[in-house]
């Protein structure tokens, strides 16, 4: 039953999605609702370019192919946008990973960003550092980076657990601007307590659309908002009808 409902909902949303995408291309839709975490990311590369200090990006402690693949891809999507901005500004970028499957993907993202911005010589594969597959060991390695590397920002988006408290606390003590996001409800309070801005749950999947501003991605977010409103109205109508009948 749920599968049939999901299929019907998808078919209903497809025309809305294409309609909104055409309006986005024509510049006829309103702005997306603000996400403070994404707005903070927008200025991170600029501050790094001004100071000459590096920007650190972590895409989480999970890899590709497991149950947390979606969160890892969300982190990689944000990395792609930040890498483009960093390559355009010739800004140093440091990426740390905890899973071997993510290492070549992150290196490919940085290389493509350098090529797109006409500076393939600026690509350095050692910008992506494999720390450790164990979450706490990875966190220990990242804290060393936060302590000894001059950084302007620390971005952590992906799968995280309790180890994020260690990284966030050290970053806060160092005075580094921090943006973090995950879909793990157990890690979100730890992020909120130690970082400047937090992307909560589904916001990490929307981050790429906010930064890239591709019409189909923006239209997808708008369609989801429309669907939420439609479902909320339907629930209210059904509840009111049951009370009156």
**Beta strand segments in the chain, E:** 54-60, 93-97, 128-130, 151-159, 177-182, 197-200
pLDDT of the residue at 139: 96
116 within some domain: yes
11 within some domain: no
pLDDT of the residue at 25: 65
pLDDT of the residue at 108: 96
pLDDT of the residue at 180: 94
pLDDT of the residue at 160: 96
Burial 49-76 (b: 16+ CB within 10 A, else e): beeebbbbbbbbbbbbeeebeebbbbbb
pLDDT of the residue at 91: 86
pLDDT of the residue at 243: 82
Give pTM, 2 decimals: 0.80
pLDDT of the residue at 153: 93
Which regions in the chain score pLDDT beneath 70? 1-6, 8-10, 12-14, 16-33, 207-227
5 within some domain: no
Distance CA 113, CA 103 (A): 16
94 and 188 both lie in a single domain: yes
Q: For residues 195 and 58, is the Cβ–Cβ distance under 8 A?
A: no
239 and 147 both lie in a single domain: no
8 within some domain: no
201 and 234 both lie in a single domain: no
pLDDT of the residue at 207: 64
pLDDT in tens, 30-69: 566 677 777 777 788 888 888 889 999 999 999 898 888 9
Q: Is 158 helix (H, G, I), strand (E, B) or coil?
A: strand
173 and 106 both lie in a single domain: yes
pLDDT of the residue at 221: 64
Helices (H), 59-195: 69-89, 103-116, 135-148, 163-173, 188-194
pLDDT of the residue at 48: 86
Domain extent, residue 195, equals 32-213
Q: 197-200 and 177-182 as β-strands: parallel, antiparallel, unpaired? A: parallel
179 and 238 both lie in a single domain: no
């Amino acid at each position: 039953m749920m599968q049939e409902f999901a299929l019907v909902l998808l078919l209903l949303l497809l025309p809305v999605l294409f309609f909104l995408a055409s309006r986005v291309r024509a510049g006829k839709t309103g702005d997306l609702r603000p996400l403070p975490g994404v707005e903070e990311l927008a200025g991170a590369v600029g501050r790094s370019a001004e100071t000459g200090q590096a920007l650190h990006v972590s895409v989480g402690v999970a890899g590709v192919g497991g149950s947390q693949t979606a969160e890892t891809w969300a982190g990689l999507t944000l990395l792609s946008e930040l890498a483009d901005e960093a390559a355009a500004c010739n800004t140093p970028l440091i990426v740390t990973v905890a899973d071997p499957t993510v290492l070549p993907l992150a290196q490919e993202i940085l290389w493509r960003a350098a090529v797109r911005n006409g500076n393939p010589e600026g690509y350095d594969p050692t910008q992506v550092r494999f720390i450790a597959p164990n979450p706490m060991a990875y966190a220990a390695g990242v804290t060393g980076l936060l302590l000894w590397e001059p950084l302007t920002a620390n971005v952590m988006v992906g799968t995280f657990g309790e180890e994020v408290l260690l990284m966030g606390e050290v970053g806060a003590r160092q005075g580094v601007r921090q943006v973090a996001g995950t879909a793990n409800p157990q890690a979100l309070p730890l992020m909120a307590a130690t970082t400047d801005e937090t992307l909560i749950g589904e916001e990490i999947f929307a981050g790429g659309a906010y930064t890239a501003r591709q019409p189909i991605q923006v239209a997808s977010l708008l369609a989801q908002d429309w669907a939420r409103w439609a479902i909320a109205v339907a629930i209210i109508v059904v509840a009111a009808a049951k009370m009156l009948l």
